[in-house]
Amino acid sequence: MTDVRAGDRARWAELAELIDDARRRYYVDDSPTLSDAEYDEAYSELVALEQRFPELTSMDSPTQSVGGQASEQFAPVEHLQRMLSLDNAFSADDVEAWAARVEKDLGSLPALLCELKVDGLAVDIVFENGRLRSMATRGDGRVGEDVTANSTLIPAIPQQLTGGTKAHPIPPLVEVRGEVYLPLAEFDALNAEQREMGLAEFANPRNAGAGSLRQRIDRRREDVAAARTPAAQARAEADLERALARIGRLRLVVHGVGEWQGHEPATQSEAYAALAGWGLPVSDRARVVEGLAAAREFIDFYGEHRHDVEHEIDGAVLKVDELALQGRLGSTSRAPRWAIAYKYPPEVVRTRLLDIRVGVGRTGRVTPFAVMQPIKVAGSTVEMATLHNASEVVRKGVLIGDIVFLRKAGDVIPEVVGPVLEARTGDERAFVMPTHCPECGTELAPEKEGDADIRCPNQRSCPAQLRERLFHLGSRGALDIEGLGYQAAVALLADGLVVDEGGLFALTSDDLQRSEFFTKAVKGERVLNANATKLLEQLQVATSRPLWRVLVALSIRHVGPTAAQSLARELRDLDVIASTPPEQLAAVEGVGGIIADSISEWFAVDWHREIVEQWRAAGVSLADEEVDEGPRPLEGMTFVITGTLPTLSRDQATEAVQKAGGKVSGSVSKKTSYVVVGENPGSKAEKAEALGVTILDEAGLLALLP
Ligand code: IVH
């Protein structure tokens, strides 16, 4: 296992503080201390550290909260009854020893309630006369944090219990315990959104969920109110919206009760039935069984099927079902004697390291990666894992041919942990970092002395860098050229149709005719196929995309969508950007010294300027038009677009809304004005319905436009 060194921990704390401070300045004071690139760099370093050492990822980490201060305090609340923890069993023997003790104390082994151990965040919810009075995190078991305000934002948590019956009347006071969790599907969707926005992904559902629950929504609202410029307000609003959307993804499963006034149930399973009847979410996987063999079967079943459950589980819990017997067994100061948690072993598997190869990225960075005998770990099949850089390979001590331990860091990113030393035969060999680029043969070198990364300096014509740049250029965050996927990029270069991105927009059907990828055989003749038609059509469309997309497409180091949008907004013209001195560029909001220098350096290179000239000659628009002063009936409204619309593409719909003064957001919240739904909508449509947000189809949207 990788050990966290003191140096890593200190660096983590330093980065976390830097980021928290920068966020406060940015969101609250609207006086950024870091440029976007510097912020992104610090943030990526923090994410990388946490991926390497998941134990560093605390709930207070800036990676686990949206914006604003990460370690904001909540008011303390004292639980009515102490929230105990659970004792753990790590083997069948441990479970047997627990059962033997229960049997000895009670004379026989009573019925056991078998449940899943949900990997989430424990909460305590008090209902008074059926009305939710408070919700608190577990805290130290006696005093937790007051998250009542957030409970109202989680649709899965009823604010009012209903459906009391004669057998199960709603008690005057009941304290319900459960686990708040982020379902795996919601975790994936959240991370997909993070990716789409170019943000770091969350390490695991537990952290993402805990961070979601512990957001200070009131502070986000204050940020909106306190913002002093429209830009700061827009950022604060977007953040508030995302924070609300994140909370709305959470679910609850009830797994116990504390204080219960009035008629008490006889068993825990009966308590669940009563709670379920009043509208509380109870797991439908819990089973009451007789005898230890049946309990073991339950444990084994979910050991096999732990990835088939809709949320993460880290074990199974056995509880004595009858409440009177629970009382007789009692508790230690830490945990009840009437329950035990069986923890499933962490998923580390062994597989053979077949090879270590190196990849060359868009900016020339050369990264070694492990190629392994494919193996299933934590729910998916893995055959490759990054090794980051040459010193990381040395630090892990792995040799090609080794059997290695493989795990998923934070259960998401596959990571080679280290070699199984006992399995060595002597036939293994050490990895040698190449001195020359595997794709173009150019000698590799670090960009500056002391860098851990080495790069291929042949940016102009290294096939790997060209391929990655071409592919990037067509991606959704850049020029969004549908026909320009990875394979198309490979074919364009391999068949010599372009020598670099400069020639892209001058491509003709005659050019594509020369490539097998872009043609098909019809009656013995090769004619253009659908790939070709789509590419030509989409290249044409891309010539009139907004300037910021062109900027991103140029692959200027550090220039991502945020910086590009600021530059386009302020300067409007690529020639103006090219000729603006770096000091002036750095003054543009969201652009700091690093980005400004990088832009100036980029335009100082002859072949870079040639690309721009070739694009200009091919009709690519390099300037944004003057702002359209047309009517803005959608001013102040926020739209979410989901599913495939019958005639408009997602981009066209977005641009139409923006042109009319509206905003388009990626997630639905109570503040969303309209959700525009097309075919095959995702969970956003359901969410809109749940929140009572008005749903439109494309025709409805068109009717709102000027
Ligand atoms: S019973 C006194 N049941 O695991 C009984 N806890 O490691 C205490 N947990 O703090 C809780 N699933 O947050 C119980 N089915 C389940 C559970 C569960 C998850 C959590 C709970 C507890 C922690 C102890």
pLDDT of residue 236: 83
Compute the radius of gyration of the chain from its Cα atoms: 29
pLDDT of residue 133: 97
Q: 317 CB less than 6 Å from ligand 1?
A: yes
Alpha-carbon torsion (433, 434, 439, 445), positive or negative = positive
What tens digit of pLDDT does each residue of 356-374 get?
999 998 989 999 999 999 8
Higher pLDDT pick, 597 / 658: 597
Higher pLDDT pick, 542 / 229: 542
Query: How many whole angstroms from 86 Cα to the centroid of ligand 1?
Result: 6
What tens digit of pLDDT does each residue of 125-134 get?
999 999 999 9
What is the location of CATH 1.10.150.20 in the chain? Answer: 463-542, 547-617
Query: How many whole angstroms from 399 Cα to the centroid of ligand 1?
Result: 42
pLDDT of 60 above 80: no
Query: How many whole angstroms from 136 Cα to the centroid of ligand 1?
Result: 15
H-helix segments, 504-560: 509-513, 530-542, 547-553
Q: Is domain 348-458 given the CATH code 2.60.120.1440 in the classification?
A: no
Which residue's CA is minimally distant from atom 12 of ligand 1? 117
| Cα–Cα dist 118/125, whole Å | 17
Token code pair at residue 37: 């690139």
Which residue's CA is minimally distant from atom 23 of ligand 1? 85
| 376 φ, ψ (degrees, to nearest 5) | -90, 130
| Cα–Cα dist 47/359, whole Å | 21
Atom of ligand 1 nearest to the CA of 335: 2
pLDDT of 68 above 60: no
pLDDT of 71 above 50: no
pLDDT of residue 223: 83
| Cα–Cα dist 528/526, whole Å | 7
pLDDT of residue 118: 95
CATH assignment of 77-182+255-343, among 3.30.565.10, 2.30.130.10, 3.30.470.30, 3.30.230.10: 3.30.470.30
What is the location of CATH 3.30.470.30 in the chain? Answer: 77-182+255-343
Which residue's CA is minimally distant from atom 2 of ligand 1? 84
Which residue's CA is minimally distant from atom 14 of ligand 1? 255
Give the closest residue to 94 by CA, choosing from 315, 272, 281, 381: 315
Which DSSP letter does residue 198 get? T
What is the location of CATH 2.40.50.140 in the chain? Answer: 348-458
Q: Which residues contact 514 (CB under 8 A, 6 or more apart)?
A: 495, 496, 497
Look up the CATH superfamily of 638-704: BRCT domain (3.40.50.10190)
104 is catalytic: no
Token code pair at residue 361: 């990225």
Q: 115 CB less than 6 Å from ligand 1?
A: yes
| 526 φ, ψ (degrees, to nearest 5) | -95, 125
Q: Backbone dihedral region of 103: left (phi > 0), alpha (psi from -120 to 50 degrees) or beta?
A: alpha
What are the C-alpha distances in Å from 311 to residues 116, 185, 273, 560, 687?
A: 10, 8, 21, 34, 19
Atom of ligand 1 nearest to the CA of 119: 19
What tens digit of pLDDT does each residue of 474-502 get?
988 899 998 898 889 999 999 999 999 99
**What band does 344 get if pLDDT is binned at 50, 70 and 90?**
confident
- Asked if residues 66 and 301 have their Cβ atoms less than 8 Å apart, the reply is no
Q: Is domain 547-617 given the CATH code 3.90.1150.10 in the classification?
A: no
Contacts 24+ apart (CB under 8 A), 137-142: 137/74, 137/213, 137/214, 138/83, 139/76, 141/79, 141/82, 141/83, 141/84, 141/85, 142/78, 142/79, 142/82, 142/83
Q: Average pLDDT in the 130-152 region?
A: 93
Which residue type is seen at 408?
K
pLDDT of 191 above 90: no
What is the location of CATH 1.10.287.610 in the chain? Answer: 6-64
| Cα–Cα dist 186/669, whole Å | 15
| Cα–Cα dist 259/81, whole Å | 6
| 489 φ, ψ (degrees, to nearest 5) | -60, -45
Q: Give CA 501 to chain center in angstroms.
A: 31
Q: Which of 116, 118, 269, 332 to probe ligand 1 with, by most ligand atoms within 8 A of CB?
A: 118
Which residue's CA is minimally distant from atom 22 of ligand 1? 85
| Cα–Cα dist 593/190, whole Å | 32
The β-bridge relationship of strands 694-696 and 674-677 is parallel
Query: How many whole angstroms from 171 Cα to the centroid of ligand 1?
Result: 23
**What band does 473 get if pLDDT is binned at 50, 70 and 90?**
very high
Query: How many whole angstroms from 122 Cα to the centroid of ligand 1?
Result: 7
Which residue's CA is minimally distant from atom 13 of ligand 1? 122
Q: 139 CB less than 6 Å from ligand 1?
A: no
Q: 252 CB less than 6 Å from ligand 1?
A: no
CATH assignment of 463-542, among 1.10.150.20, 1.10.3720.10, 3.90.700.10, 3.40.50.300: 1.10.150.20
Strand partners, 131: 128, 160
Q: 118 CB less than 6 Å from ligand 1?
A: yes
Q: 86 CB less than 6 Å from ligand 1?
A: yes
| 356 φ, ψ (degrees, to nearest 5) | -120, 120
Q: Which of 59, 79, 85, 86 to probe ligand 1 with, by most ligand atoms within 8 A of CB?
A: 86
Please tell me the CATH code under which domain 6-64 is placed: 1.10.287.610
pLDDT of 7 above 90: no
Q: Give CA 449 to chain center in angstroms.
A: 34
Query: How many whole angstroms from 616 Cα to the centroid of ligand 1?
Result: 63
Q: Average pLDDT in the 655-665 region?
A: 85
Q: 117 CB less than 6 Å from ligand 1?
A: yes
H-helix segments, 130-169: 148-151
3-state secondary structure of 267: strand
pLDDT of residue 69: 33
| Cα–Cα dist 210/120, whole Å | 7
Query: How many whole angstroms from 117 Cα to the centroid of ligand 1?
Result: 6
H-helix segments, 53-157: 92-106, 148-151
| Cα–Cα dist 43/70, whole Å | 13
pLDDT of residue 424: 94
Which residue's CA is minimally distant from atom 17 of ligand 1? 117
Which residue's CA is minimally distant from atom 10 of ligand 1? 85
H-helix segments, 321-477: 323-329, 390-396, 463-473
What tens digit of pLDDT does each residue of 551-610 get?
999 999 888 887 898 899 889 999 999 999 999 999 887 788 889 999 999 999 999 999
Token code pair at residue 627: 């702002």
Catalytic residue among 104, 117, 343, 448: 117
What is the location of CATH 3.40.50.10190 in the chain? Answer: 638-704
pLDDT of 111 above 50: yes
pLDDT of 336 above 90: yes
pLDDT of residue 301: 96
- Asked if residues 325 and 110 have their Cβ atoms less than 8 Å apart, the reply is yes
3-state secondary structure of 46: helix
Token code pair at residue 553: 């497409």
